[in-house]
Amino acid sequence: MNKDILIIGGGIAGIQSALDLAEMNYKVYLVESLPSIGGKMAQLDKTFPTNDCAI
């Protein structure tokens, strides 16, 4: 049984999964097709319903 995990997509969902697993001491490969991670959320200015900054 291999214990490493592959995550495809580096948007908010992929980032959250990666951080959770890395904190649980699993080795994670995070693959993103664009030059940087962040996905659609990085394009957002603020988020509802708290108007917090997205990045």
Partner 1 sequence: MLDVGRHSNIELLAYSEVENIKGEAGDFQATVRKKARYVDEDKCTGCGNCADKCPTTVPDAFNEGLSYRKAIYSWFAQGIPSTFTIDTDYCRHFQGKKCGICQKNCQAEAINFEQEDEFLELDVGAIIVATGYKVFDPSRIPEYRYKQIPNVLTSMEFERMLGASGPTEGHLERPSDRKVKNQIQDLQKKLQKAEKSLKKYEEEYQIDSESFYSQYKQDNSSEDKEKKKWADKYEEYLGLQETLRPLQEQAEKFKDATKVAFIQCVGSRDKRFFPFCSGYCCMHSIKEAIIAHEHDPETTSTIFGMDIRAVGKGFEEYKIRSQNSSNVFYKRAKVAEITEAQNRNPVLTYEDTKEQKVKSEEFELVVLATACEPSSSTRPLAEILGIDINEFGFFQTDYKNPLDSTKPGVFICGCANDPMDIPESVAQASSAAARAVQVLTGIGDARSDRVSKAS
- Total number of residues that touch partner 1 (CB under 8 A): 52
Nearest distance from C-beta of residue 4 to partner 1, angstroms: 5
Nearest distance from C-beta of residue 52 to partner 1, angstroms: 10
Nearest distance from C-beta of residue 32 to partner 1, angstroms: 5
φ, ψ of residue 41 in degrees (nearest 5): -65, -35
Rounded Cα distance between 42 and 34, Å, is: 12
Length of the chain: 55
User: Per CB under 8 A, which of residues 1..55 are in contact with partner 1?
Assistant: 1-51, 55
- Beta strands 46-47 and 52-53, pairing class: antiparallel
